[in-house]
Structures are given as structure tokens and as C-alpha cells.
A and B are shown apart, each in its own frame.
Chain A
Amino acid sequence: MTDPKFGDIVDTNFIYSEEQRNARKFGESEVLISGQPATYHAGDVVHLPYQAGETSTIEAIGLAWGAFASGINPAE
């Protein structure tokens, strides 16, 4: 993958062949599929870049722990 987008998998052991993709389908229903099915697998590596001004995952987890320490609940 030369230009991965936010949330794309950049390293995986699960590259399905066309035959395997077909085998993963159940039944005879007509389903339109594009792209790589079954988004995440065990052992995948994801591309999650956050730019200045955005709230990153590590920052959000930090906010959650900080709120826990202060007795603040998540916003519903």
C-alpha cells in the first residue's frame, strides 16, 4: 500500500485470494463487494496519524483516565 489513508491496515498476514473471499461468503445471495473484506485481524498494524488540533487515540485514553481519577463520567 503506497498511500495508506487514516484507519487503513498497513501490515497484515491476511491477504485473501479471490477463492478465499468467495469461500467466506454464505448462501447464494447477490452481494456487491469492493475492497478488502473483514477489516481487522489479529496481528494487523493500522495507520492512525493525527494532526495538530485533532484529539489522538492516546490523548483520548489519557483524558479518560484523567476523568476517572477526577470522578468525571463520559459525555453521553
Chain B
Amino acid sequence: MRPKFDLLGESLIERILEEAFLLIDDPGVRVAPYVVDLLRGAGVTVKDGVAHIPEPLARRLLDLVPRGFCVYDRSGKPAVRYAGDDVHFDPGSSCLNILDAETQQPRPAMSADLVRMVQVAEMLPQFAAQSTAMVCNDVPQEIGDWYRLLLVLWYSEKPVVSGAFSPASLHTLVELLTIEAGGRDALREQPRAVLDVCPSPPLNWSEFASQNLVDLARAGIPAEIVSMPLAGATAPVTLAGSVVQHAAECISGITIHQLAQPGAPIVWGGAPAIFDMRTGKTPMGAIETVMLDVACAQVGKHLGLPTHAYLVAGDGRVIDAQVEMESGMSAVLGALAGINMISGAGMLDFLACHSIEKLVIDAEAIASAQRLIQGIEPRTPSLAVGMFAQTGLQGDFLKLKDTRALFRKEQHFPSTVIDRGFASMDATPDILTRARQRVDELLSTYQRHPLSPECERELIAFAQSEGEEAGLEGLPGILIPAYAPEPGLI
């Protein structure tokens, strides 16, 4: 039996959806001019920039959303399945700062930091996907979004969760993915990435977000709605009320998306949080934030849709017991909730800072969560009687063939990050030291798998051309192979 964690009863889910459908009609949803004709064409009343979406239309379009889809790795293998109770994790994204490995003080993230994080995440099986984890401060701000994706595509073979910061750069992101996939059709057939789209709470699809939804739908690239109600500030203070708002934002986004391209893949996702009434901050590690994430995902699962949430992040400013307690707890609850993609690992300080050391510690929490959801299985014809028949009251279970055959399935063996009293760890009693060692170990064993020379050449030429327009000199973080137009270390 797969263990499961549900927060909402069926009747409460029905009430949540009932109110969400009411909200998208009245007061309605603020939308951008970009989608007004699209909505009006489907019979939606749009007045003063506010769309009043009737429930029957929204329900009809919800029915068109694929109940599942795959995201592919570079080799074309379906590596992430957004469907059912499949659970995957990826690191948190778009961070401006990194906790320096040596000083453990935050500093602006650079291309080299993102490269290190991508390489570490590549080596950790706990992360089924990469994220465009950091915005690199050594590249011009206006190209910060697509440059992250370039580095991930260069150093990783895993699927990617990413997103654009502006309509113009969305096209650059799509172009990078197209080059890497070998064409638009190939990208559509085997998407390598899921791109986030964020409504602005409450109930506002801005010009950029509206356009993003439409463009992604038409490009056939899966979109992931990241709805962010802040309970008590930009959403009702009650958790149930915020879940309603999240549902209304997702349903209205799906309406726009499916009108643009019926049947295009989209994810019911979000990063909801409570609003701390003492500080005005949005604690990602608070249990109520985790409850919101789980409940929002449960509503999406009730509709049969692919789901996403933002968890495994802590709020403390250094790697300490608080941060890891928060991160570990939410990793377990998110996995038990059966959320298809759980983003956030590695992040701390209210998502303001990333840490590669934290990422490897979080990977251990994730591994435990992944073991947990495998549950307890009857692996032998009898559960215990057969083994007792072999060993009797002597209790020599260690000698049994079953023991040797099954212990690896039954027990998860954490890396040396976790202190299980292993002799070689005697000299490194603190987890930060062990995490640093683990990072070094992973980086020393990482090997980059190049793309085809043609593809690399095209990616570099495109990136150089786009970068030059923004004043970028060279391609920070990339050692350009000799065949490229401008050889050498940039």
C-alpha cells in the first residue's frame, strides 16, 4: 500500500471548487489585452480588463487538459512523468544569492555557482529534473533568464523546470530548447522543459503571464502555473480561502491556455504561503505553508491534473537545525501527498538564498521521503514464518539468503552526509563539513556529456549573438569547444 497524506475531505474539495468557479465569474479575473479577443471569442464577457468566466466553459476546458505527460531527458527518455501519484523533485529556482561554500555567508550568485549546482544536481538521483536555480549576477540583467537555461542545457541531461522573466526572453528560451531538441516538432513531441507561469495574486493574469500562457500552449511546451496566494495579505487569511483563490487562479489560467491550444499540457502548480503577521515575510518552512501546498495539490489531483508545489525550502539564514527540520518535514509531506513535481530544495532564507551544501543535505531528506512512499511490501511468501522456519529461535537472520537478497530493497542507505556512525565519519561530526565533502566528491566525479558538435555550435552561436546584443562579453561558465566560432576559455 502506498502511504498517502490527504488534508481535505471530498466535500471540502467540492466546496473549494464550487467557490473557485464562482470567483472566476464574479468578481472575475483581471486579464491582459493580449487574451481579450481569445476569451471573447469563447463567449467570455470581458469588461474593463476583467474577464467573467462562466463555469460551464471552464469545466469544458478543464476536461481538455492532458491528465498526464512526460518530460524527456536529453537522450529522449521520458524521465519525468507528470501524472497520477508520481513524485519528482527539482532544486529551487531563480535565486539571486548563494551561501558561499567557505564563509557560509550570502553573496551574489555567479555563472560558476550555477554550473556547480547543476553539476551536483546532475549527480544526485533524488533530483529527476534540474531547475534554472540561480540568476547569474555576472551576466546582464535583461538576459538573466535565458542564460540560466543555456548553462543547464550545456551541463545537464536531465529535464528542466525553468521560466522566462519577460515576453521577449520567452522566445529566446524557446529557441534554445528548439536548438537543443533539433527542431520545433522534436521539442513538441519530446519536451525537455516545463516553463513556469505566474499569475499575480489575487486573480490577475498580467500582460506577461497571459502572453506566456498563450505562447507556451501554441509552442507545445508544457506550462506550469505557479499561483502564489499569500494567506492574509494577497489572499484570504484562512487556509481554505487561499486554496479557493489558488484554484480560481489555476482554473482561469487553464481556461486561457486551453483556448489558445486545446489539449496543450499544463500543470496545476503553485508556491502558496502564509503571510507572517509579525514580519510581513512569507515563511516557506511554516507548517501552514506546507498545508497550503498539499491542499492546493489535492484539489488539482481531484480534477485529475498534473501537479506541482514549492517545498523543501527552509527560512533560516544558515544551514542549521531549523532549516533542515523545515525542509525535511515538507519533503516528506509533499511526497506523501503525491505531488508530481516538488521544487525548492537547496533554498533558504525565504527563498532569497541558495546553497549547494543544503542541496546535498536536502537530497538525503528527499531520499528518505522517496523510501517512505514505497511503503511496506510483503516481499516473501510468508511475512516472517518462512524465515523463522529457517533459523528457528537461534535468530541468525543475518545469515539468511532472504536477508542478503532483500536488505537493499528494505533499507535506504544514505550518503555520508547522514551520520550513521560510519567509522570513516568519526573525524567529521558536523553536517556542514560532511555536506561540503559530499559536494566536492560529486563535483570530482561529474563528467559533462557533450551535445552533438552541430548542436553545440548552433547553441553557442545563438547565445553569443543574443548575448552581444545585451552587452555580454563571452559566455561566462562555458568552456567553448575548439570548433566554435570563437575558441578559447570565455
Do the two shown chains form a genuine complex with each other? no
List B residues at the A interface (Cβ < 8 Å).
none
> A residues engaging B (CB < 8 A)?
none
